[in-house]
Amino acid sequence: MGMIGFVVIDRETISSVSDSTGFTATYIPPLNVETAYAIVQAVGGSVRFCIDGTTPTSSKGMRLTQDSKIEVWGYAAMVDFRAIDDGGTATLEVIYMGRG
């Protein structure tokens, strides 16, 4: 029996995080049941993010510094993910992963 791993399902660039922004719904459960987690990288600046549905602000939320990445696992965290620019001109590069 072969090894089960993860493969790229899709990707997106979230070009505007000047307001609290989440993932595009068509990439994540329940609309895309294949997606297991998302890899997120801050590009061009830092962002603040929350995975519990809280709206992040310049002083609320975890900080993802420029060129750093996180993994957001599971339905609830992906649906509730929100990010906002932390004072610069950040964008988010997102890769959605699923079981292969």
pLDDT band with cut points at 50, 70 and 90 for residue 48? very high
The pLDDT score that the predictor gives to residue 99 is 86
pLDDT (average), residues 8-27? 94
Per the model's pLDDT, the better-predicted residue between 88 and 33 turns out to be: 33
Q: Is the pLDDT of residue 81 over 90?
A: yes
Q: Which CATH architecture has domain 6-99?
A: Sandwich (2.60)
How far is residue 65's CA from residue 77's CA, in Å, rounded to a whole number?
20
Q: Which residue has the higher pLDDT, 1 or 12?
A: 12
Report yes or no: 28 and 73 within 8 Å, Cβ to Cβ. no
